[in-house]
Amino acid sequence: MPRPVGRPRANDLSVGEVAARAGVAVSTLHFYESEGLIESWRTAANHRRFDRRELRRIAVIRMAQQLGIPLAEIREVLAALPRDKALSKADWQAVSQGWRARLDARIAQLEQLRDELDGCIGCGCLSLESCPLYNPSDRRGREGAGPRVWIDAMTKDQA
Ligand code: FES
């Protein structure tokens, strides 16, 4: 949500400057702002301005997205960080340690899925008794749409 109208400050950046420096589209900045991830304010001439400190928040958002961290979790983490100063090395270390544990869990789940899939490659038995991934008669379909085995594995650590 934009801050109240005010006078430009020397360290503030226009939306175009932020987009160029952060390497994202202006529309992406608007999206981040609408999601409450970053903040801007308006000049008396109704020009959007960003505090230079928002650049570090944008860097964290982009890194989190690369890691597949859900937007809600990114928002939660950013909300817990101080707004009155740029993100510090200690801030980033705390955030990245939390995400590392999450990534480790995801990697373990993906490795398990990969290992189960290894047995299927070139097999084709589609056996209910022996195939870990096959789902005859769409039994899992009663639980919801989509690839249920995959979804279960991906969401296990979020429960
Ligand atoms: S298809 Fe044979 S074990 Fe999966």
Task: Tell whether ligand 1 has an atom less than 6 A from the beta carbon of residue 101.
Answer: no
Higher pLDDT, 150 or 66: 66
Domain extents for the chain?
1-87, 108-159
- The CA distances from residue 129 to 58, 103, 122, 136, in Å, are 49, 31, 17, 11
Residue carrying structure tokens 């290894």 = 118
Query: Is the minimum distance from the CB of 117 to ligand 1 under 6 angstroms?
Result: no
Q: What atom in ligand 1 is closest to the CA of residue 120?
A: 4
Nearest alpha-carbon partner for 81 in 69, 94, 64, 72: 94
The per-residue pLDDT for 98 is 86
pLDDT digits (tens, 9 = 90+) for 74-94: 999 998 888 888 888 888 888
In this structure, whether the domain defined by 1-87 belongs to CATH 1.10.1660.10 is answered with yes
Alpha helix ranges (H) inside 121-155: 148-155
Residue 47: both structure tokens together = 């020009």
